[in-house]
Structure 1
Amino acid sequence: MIHLQLLRLLRPVWAGMLLATLVGLALSALAIAQALATALLFSGIVDGLSLSVLVGPFAVLAAALLLRPAATAGRELVAHGVASRMKRVMREKFLEKDEALGPFGGQDVRLGERHALLVDGIENLEPYVTRYLPQVIVTIITAVVTVSLLFSIDPVVGAVAAGTAVVVPLVPRLWDRVLRGRGDEHWSAYSQLHADVVDSMRGMETLKLLGAEQRRRAELGRSGDSLLRSTLSQLRLSLVESGLTGFLLVAGPALALGVAVARVGSGALEPAALFAVALIGFEVFRPFRDLSNHWHAGYLGVTAGTRLLAYFNTPVLGSAISPVSDDVPAGTAVEIHNVRVRYPGADETALDGLTLRIPRATVTAIVGGSGSGKSTVANVILGLLTPDEGRVAVVDGQGRPPVSLVSQDPVIFSGTLRENLAVIAPDADDVQLREALALAEAGELADPARGGLDAPVGDGGGLLSGGQRQRVAIARALLRGSPVLILDEASSALDVRREHDLLESLRRSVAEGGLTVIVIAHRLSAIREADDILVVDDGRIVEHGTYDDLVLAGGVFARLHAAQSQGVAQ
């Protein structure tokens, strides 16, 4: 059943697999022709035929010997082409699925496990797709043709060869269930070790600071030992299966030849026919030997294929595309009505009947205590979470993405400042790049004394401070040109003066360019000048108004203000 499911998964490369099968059949045809020509030559020499009679078989033999290397090279070229396309298609499909799941889907699969599946899992599919599957058809057709030839020589010999040929692929299948279980254990151990290594590399600084690197090293050692045990266990079982298959592959031609010798002894078969029986008998079982080799090479691909199928079948609970509606009321950037949201796997509702309206060309702040639902509102606006109930409408971007997000810890790519900005705006000139940096209060980063736009930022932005990384990310988002910009704690690493200057700069863009800015913040100093402040508590909007009005109201916001004024962390 798993093979049929994998075949459906591999539909985009069926044409290439068919071509690989045809080339494999051509190779088998050449091998059979070579065997027949050789048998005719040997029997002709034994019978004392003249050289003129043997010219035909000799020409066929010479042609087969010349064409087989060319056909073998062609098979390798076809296999390489199919493998390249298969890996490209599978990885595109994987990444599309990853994008469709969004940041909250597929969380039961660790990042390192997904990485192992994307890289090594799909790589392991190559021998299964390019070698094993085409060889299945080649083996069946070749076996039918060669056994038919043996039947034409002698029905008894043909029946013996046919019976042995049926046994060869069936007996090893007795190990399939155990092999499948061992293969699954091996892949689990491998992906677990891969995930542990990825987690360790990402958290190396934290492990060092906590003094936990030795403990982590011991854990990795245990994961490595587990992988070694599962690998050796699978190899032991595989060697038993390989030994049995190898014995049958040798016994098959020998048995057919032995029966033929007995038939010659009884006078039922001419002695010269032994050449044809020996050579064609070998060709009956040669494809099975290739099939066995390809099966062992591609078995990990079957195991990885089951994981790929499971990942591709993971239900999509959200969309990575922001909801856009043409019926957003005039003057409105975002409208959310009676929205209820629950994170995948969570027991509690994150937003419960939330309703809000954010006008265009305004600075709107969303505040609240930890876990109140502030970031969930941003995820709903971005379309990363699909509401269980309610309606979300976002202004049309008029050909541009409607919403851009800058988070507290933005991703900065290795390379230069220019390259990080060009990721969003590859056609922007230097003037536009500098203007975006200036608007994000990061103009000093483009100073020629520092290297200008071509200054390196280091691996992951390691040569920049936390505040500089945030401002570069804001400049990058501004270059995207979305009508709505969400800043989710995006100025948390800035000092108060720099944060004030940044928000004032963005306010000018709001006034001049019609940008709508949504600020999500814990630090209330960042939103003192906001046009409207929405206070979220327990997944609902409980208050809204200006900063001073909300302080005077004495509600949730007033308590947050008082706590921060007294230096109490929220």
Structure 2
Amino acid sequence: MTDAKTASRAWMRAQSRVGRRTALPVVAFGLLGIALATGQAACAGVALQTALAPASSPVPWIALAGFALFAVLRAGLTLLSERAAFEAGATARRRLRTDALTRLLAAGPALLRERHSGELTSVVVDRIEALDGLFARWMPAATLAIAGPVLIVLVAAIADWKAALVLAGAGLLVPFAMALSGIGAAVAAKRQFAALGHLQARFLDRVRGIATIVMHGRAGDEAVALGAAADELRRRTMRVLRVAFLSSVALDLAMALALILIALRYGAQLMEGRLDNPGTALFVLLLVPEFFAPLRGFAAAYQEKFHAGAAADALVTLPPPPEPAPDLPVRTVEARGLTVAFEDVRLTWDEQRGPALDGLSFRVPAGEILVLAGPSGAGKSTVMEILLGFVRPQSGRVTFNGADVSTLVPQALARMTAWIGQRPMLFAGTIRENIRFARPEATDAEVDEAARLARVDSFAATLPKGLDTVVGEGGYGLSGGQAQRVAIARAFLKNAPLLLLDEPTVHLDPATEAEVLESLRRLTIGRTVILASHSSAAHSFGGRRLDLRAGRAAAAA
């Protein structure tokens, strides 16, 4: 816990250094606005003094024109300041979201062994969105809350140093009150984010499993549970708002106190006939709201810091950024004739469960097929994840044509590898778009040829718009065998020299399995293939068989 808090504070300090630079335009516009507000107050004071002077003209046109001009300029500066603040927040969010996605992509699917996808979604979307206020409002407001009142006090001291002391004293009361409310705000914000993450993870799980929920008649129970989670989030949010209002109340009381004391001072002078310059009195009184305006902005943004702190606690738990490429010449391999070798590879996911791979060694010559067999948990999927670059072995080497995969550019590794798993991931869109996902620059003719080779065209011909028929998320609208053929079409289109097949027919009926295997046989021609499967039909592919037991090679045939 201490390490997490230390990491969170270090992260906040680093982001503050970056944020101060982006906040400079907002601060500059804010200070100019304060200067113009001072000018408006001076014009109002001059107008009053001129109007009350015996020899003055009835209407002080010059002072009133100056007041109007300053008002227009302030409105323009306010617009520019809002735009600059938006850009500061948007720039920070883009940077942080890019960094977070880079970390998640570098960690790969192996991260889902430890973290719920709903939780990760909440971190990348909601937690980073909550940081907008830190950069757009909090950092400029923190600077203006010091520079603005100091500027106003200096101006007020020129006109009336006693009134300036009253302003300064009232202003010093605000930070103490806000600090007291801030302690509660930090705790409430963290609890609110925790409730939000819980609700999102639960909702995502239930949406994914909606068919199971309906089948078992649990829709009503799940609706009640989701309602309870949503109500918990509502209560946490209202607690944050209640604490946030405390700082606003303290600010209003301080401003009222300063206004009353200064008004009493000039009121007493007026009653005693000692108020020689009513214009100065009006000028100082008009400076009171301007003195507290930066503090009011600071109070409004005060909670953003604690929202950011709660978000930082989640962001620092993301995987570390990808390691830089080793200081070695980047290796290249031939596009065809790919030989794969494992040399004493070891990897452990969980120390308590023992090694997933324990000194595994094998070699697959170019153009040959290796069938990985063995019970569940023997290490077949771990081999696939290493070859796909999702995880690196803790010891040993994995080579492509003698080049260690750690020295290969990730993009090059991805181009050399095609993978078909147990449940292909299809996105909401047309079948053609899902096939083209493997190679976005492919032409329609190339997509059509891949669909023909995978026999996608045979069932697409029965659909309303053929390959341009829209399917739902996860391939909704297609059967398991049809979705698997779309995955095979992707592999045909990608035309990679290494083909990885991880239980590609596990969920298919025998007839569909036979059709899919026939398409896969065509796909394997001229490629190096590693197939992991329990299916006896899949083992009819031929090639060499490697039995795995507890992460070791038990036998080869």
Structure 1 equivalent of residue 104 of structure 2: 98
8 A contact 1:361–1:517 mirrored in 2: yes
Matched-pair contact (CA < 8 Å) for 2:156–2:287: yes
Distance 1:112 1:360, change over 3 A: same
Counterparts in 2 of 1:516 and 1:108: CA distance versus 1, 3 Å:
closer
Contact 1:151/1:157 (CA < 8 Å) preserved in 2? yes
1:510: Cα distance to partner?
Answer: 4.2
- Which of 149, 152, 164 is the matching residue for 1:146? 152
Residue 531 in structure 1 maps to residue 543 in structure 2? yes
Distance 1:180 1:71, change over 3 A: same
| Alignment partners' CA distance in 1, 2:236 and 2:256 | 30
CA contact (8 A) 1:90 1:122 kept: yes
2:454 is aligned, of 436, 440, 443, to: 440
CA distance 1:263–1:3, change in 2 (3 Å): farther
Query: 2:413 & 2:103 partners in 1: Cα distance?
Result: 24
Unaligned runs of 5+ in 2: 1-5, 402-407
* Residue number in structure 1 paired with 2:288: 281
Q: Which residue of 2 aligns with 1:474?
A: 488
Structure 1 147/449 Cα, relative in aligned 2: closer, same or farther at 3 Å?
Answer: closer
In the TM superposition, residue 342 of structure 1 has moved relative to its aligned partner by: 1.2
2:246 matches 1:243? no
Alpha-carbon distance between aligned partners in 2 of 1:400 and 1:299, rounded to the nearest angstrom: 41
Alpha-carbon distance in structure 2 between the residues aligned to 1:276 and 1:233 = 40
**Counterpart selection for 1:73 from 68, 74, 79:** 79
Cα deviation, residue 106, structure 1: 6.5
1:323-375 Cα distance to aligned partner (Å, 9 max, x none): x95589x9652111111111167642111111111111122111111111111
Match for residue 382 of structure 2? 376
Of 172, 176, 193, which aligns to 2:178?
A: 172
- CA apart distance, 1:473: 0.9
CA 1:331/1:115 → structure 2, altered by over 3 Å: closer, same or farther? closer
CA contact (8 A) 1:319 1:385 kept: no
Distance in 1, matches of 2:474 and 2:333, equals 41
Distance 2:382 2:124 in 1: 29
* Residue 476 to residue 54, structure 1, CA distance change in 2 (3 Å): same
Corresponding position of 1:386: 392
| 1:530 partner letter | G
Instruction: Tell me which residue corresponds to 2:433.
Output: 419
| Aligned equivalent of 2:3 | none
Contact 1:404 1:477 survives alignment (8 Å): yes
Report the Cα offset of residue 131 of structure 1.
Answer: 2.1
Shift of 1:427: 2.6
What does 1:313-328 align with in structure 2 at a 5 Å threshold?
314-315=319-320, 326=332
Question: Distance between the aligned counterparts of 2:147 and 2:323, measured in 1?
Answer: 48
Q: 1:75 to 1:515 in 2, by over 3 A?
A: same
Gap regions ≥5 residues in structure 1: 546-570
SS in 2 for 1:117: helix
Change (3 A) 1:69 1:7: farther
In the TM superposition, what whole-angstrom CA distance separates every residue of 1:110-156 from its partner, at most 9, and x where no partner exists? 32232233333333322332122212222221111110112222322
CA 1:171–1:421: 2 relative to 1, 3 Å:
same
Matches within 5 A, 1:474-513: 474-496=488-510, 499-500=513-514, 502-511=516-525
- Equivalent in the alignment of 1:293: 300
Amino acid aligned to 1:537: R
Partner of residue 362 from structure 1, selected from 368, 376, 387:
368
Change (3 A) 1:286 1:509: closer
Question: Take 2:397 and 2:185, find their aligned partners in 1: how far apart are those partners?
Answer: 51
**RMSD over aligned Cα atoms:** 3.2
Structure 2 residue aligned with 1:21: 27
Q: Distance in 2 between matches of 1:496 and 1:204?
A: 28
Are 2:437 and 1:430 equivalent residues in the alignment? no
CA contact (8 A) 2:372 2:533 kept: yes
Q: Distance in 2 between matches of 1:53 and 1:439?
A: 90
- 2:371·2:530 contact (CA, 8 Å) conserved in 1? yes
Quote the offset at 1:299 in angstroms: 5.4
C-alpha contact (below 8 Å) 1:125/1:300 kept by paired residues: no
CA shift at 1:464, angstroms? 1.0
Q: What is the DSSP-based 3-state SS (H/G/I as helix, E as strand, rest coil) of the residue aligned with 2:317?
A: helix
- Cα separation, 2, equivalents of 1:234 and 1:428: 52
Give me the whole-angstrom Cα distance separating, in 2, the residues matched to 1:466 and 1:520.
19
Seen in structure 2, the aligned counterparts of structure 1 residues 244 and 109 have a Cα distance that, compared at 3 Å, is farther
SS in 2 for 1:492: coil
Give the 3-state SS of the residue equivalent to 2:429 in structure 1: coil
Establish whether residue 517 from structure 1 lines up as the match of residue 517 from structure 2: no
SS in 2 for 1:233: helix
1:318–1:527 CA distance, 2 compared to 1 (3 A): farther
CA positional deviation for 1:391: 1.1
> 1:375 touches 1:520 (CA, 8 Å); kept in 2?
yes
Contact 1:105/1:316, CA 8 A, preserved across alignment: no
Residues 399 and 485 of structure 1, relative CA distance in 2, 3 Å threshold: closer
TM (norm. structure 2) is: 0.87
What amino acid is aligned across from residue 462 of structure 1 in structure 2? Y
Following TM superposition, by how much is the alpha carbon of 1:498 offset from its aligned partner in structure 2, in angstroms? 5.1
Spell out the pairing of 1:57-72 with structure 2 (5 A cutoff).
57-72=63-78
**For the structure 1 residues 508 and 204, does the alpha-carbon distance in structure 2 shift closer, same or farther, using more than 3 Å as the test?**
closer
What's 2:404 paired with?
A: none
Letter in 1 for 2:296: R
Give the stretch that moved more between structures: 173-182 or 493-502: 493-502
Range moving further from structure 2, 466-475 or 104-113? 104-113
Percent identity over the alignment is 30
The answer for the alignment partner of 1:409 in structure 2 is 423
- What residue number does 1:548 align with? none
Structure 2 letter corresponding to 1:488? D
Report the alpha carbon displacement of residue 57 of structure 1 after superposing the two structures with TM. Answer: 3.1
Corresponding residue pairs, total:
538
Match of 2:130 among 118, 124, 129: 124
- Distance (whole Å) between structure 2 residues aligned to residue 468 and residue 249 of structure 1: 70
Match of 1:461, as an amino acid? G
Query: Which range is displaced more, 530-539 or 1-10?
Result: 1-10
- 1:42 match: 48
2:546 is aligned with 1:540: no
CA spacing shift, 1:133–1:186, aligned 2, 3 Å? same
